[in-house]
Amino acid sequence: MPKPAVLVARAVFPEVTARLAAHFEVESNSADTIFTPAELSAKLVGKAGCFITGSERIDAALLDAHPQLRAVCNMAVGYNNIDVEACNARGVLATNTPDVLTETTADFGFALMMATARRIAESEHFLRAGQWTKWAYDMFIGPDVHGATLGILGMGRIGQAIARRGALGFGMKVMYHNRSRLDAALEAPLGARYVSKEQLLREADHLVIVMPYSAASHHAIGAAELALMKPSATLTNVARGGIVDDAALAQALRDRRIAAAGLDVFEGEPKVHPDLLTVPNVVLTPHIASASVATRRGMADLAAANLIAALTGAVPPTPINPQVLPLK
């Protein structure tokens, strides 16, 4: 029997492509170009499955053009690039990569929050620019992290992992807002308090955003929300671009409505709002929160395991829509 054909839509670890090649005819994008929707569609002709990342969009029109496509396997935990309803309606399996990136992403979220609060990027630029000529009592002073109030918006796996770092490592007071309240057994060891979004914004010293992106969370943080925050507060986003209104954030930073921000994700990335590039009190990183060697390999392996299972009649480890199983 001929092997099913699959597309690996972005460059990935060669060992992972080799693992897929043991099961499939693999077309891989070793040049790592970002396919336009038309290019992606052309590449999917005759493919039973697809290994994708956050840069590929899977929507109803694409699925309708490729009725032979049975599985789309995302190398990411967030899956706002996949129209899951459209997949459900057509019996297409979608998978993601939860758990394997939780601790690495939490490390980065905490590091970005600390860099933001303690002005690490801003002061490093100052030093490199040769501006450091003397010590001064108020040079790059900022808020403390230890003992401060950590506000977490989106208390899923990564939010809880950040809360653990704050509560257990830095003696922070943890408050959070989430679609639903955690079990008391999860809240208690962290001393985590469930509060309204408004209370979170008003009282957090360091707000960390870790909620999934959807139409409902688009611009969940805009000018009105930023206006509720303390002028001494920081905001860190390691979730998705679009949750924060970047133009409103840049204005709030410029006006010192809040002290500083740390952003790993942007609306329309890899483009970055030009106003964010000119305000000094923001730390900007290019969507690298999950970028440790072991975690990126773990994500790629899990996406590959999902694709292999989906197309060989096994149960994929991390399906988003298991109700479509078994596949045709």
- 53 vs 149, beta carbon nearer ligand 8YV: 53
Helix or strand or coil: residue 151?
A: strand
Q: Which of 187, 203, 267, 269 is catalytic?
A: 269
- 192 vs 307, beta carbon nearer ligand 8YV: 307
The span from the CA of 179 to the CA of 263, in Å, is: 23
Size of the site for ligand 8YV (CB under 6 A): 8
* Residue list 138-197, contact with ligand 8YV (CB under 6 A): none
Q: Which amino acid is at 74?
A: N
Please give the DSSP secondary-structure letter assigned to residue 213: P
Q: Which of 70, 165, 240, 273 is catalytic?
A: 240
Kindly tell me which residue out of 48, 62, 77, 182 binds ligand 8YV, with binding defined by CB under 6 A: 77
Q: Is 85 a catalytic residue?
A: no
CA 282 from centre of chain = 18
Quick one: CA torsion of 278, 106, 293, 297, rounded to 10 degrees?
-120
CA 123 from centre of chain = 26
Crossing angle of the two packed helices 293-311 and 102-117, in degrees rounded to 10 = 140
29 makes contact with ligand 8YV (CB under 6 A): no
Tokens in use for 12?
């990935």
CB of 45 to ligand 8YV, least distance (A): 24
The span from the CA of 129 to the CA of 132, in Å, is: 8
Where helices occur in the chain by DSSP H, the ranges are 14-21, 37-43, 60-65, 84-90, 102-117, 120-128, 157-164, 170, 184-187, 197-203, 223-228, 246-254, 274-278, 293-311
Kindly tell me which residue out of 9, 75, 211, 252 binds ligand 8YV, with binding defined by CB under 6 A: 75
Q: Is 193 a catalytic residue?
A: no
Q: Which of 164, 219, 287, 297 is catalytic?
A: 287
- 101 vs 221, beta carbon nearer ligand 8YV: 101
Q: Is 187 a catalytic residue?
A: no
* Residue list 234-293, contact with ligand 8YV (CB under 6 A): 290
- 185 vs 216, beta carbon nearer ligand 8YV: 216
CB of 120 to ligand 8YV, least distance (A): 22
* Residue list 93-122, contact with ligand 8YV (CB under 6 A): 101
The span from the CA of 95 to the CA of 110, in Å, is: 27
Kindly tell me which residue out of 49, 54, 151, 242 binds ligand 8YV, with binding defined by CB under 6 A: 54
CB of 115 to ligand 8YV, least distance (A): 19
Q: Which stretch binds ligand 8YV (CB under 6 A): 70-78, 87-95, 146-154, 306-314?
A: 70-78
Angle at 212 between CA 100 and CA 156, to 5 degrees: 55
Kindly tell me which residue out of 26, 50, 76, 252 binds ligand 8YV, with binding defined by CB under 6 A: 76
- 160 vs 290, beta carbon nearer ligand 8YV: 290
- 101 vs 148, beta carbon nearer ligand 8YV: 101
The span from the CA of 283 to the CA of 264, in Å, is: 8
CB of 287 to ligand 8YV, least distance (A): 6
The span from the CA of 269 to the CA of 179, in Å, is: 26
Question: CA gyration radius for the chain?
Answer: 22
Residues contributing to the site for ligand 8YV (CB under 6 A): 53-54, 75-78, 101, 290
| Catalytically active residues, by annotation | 240, 269, 287
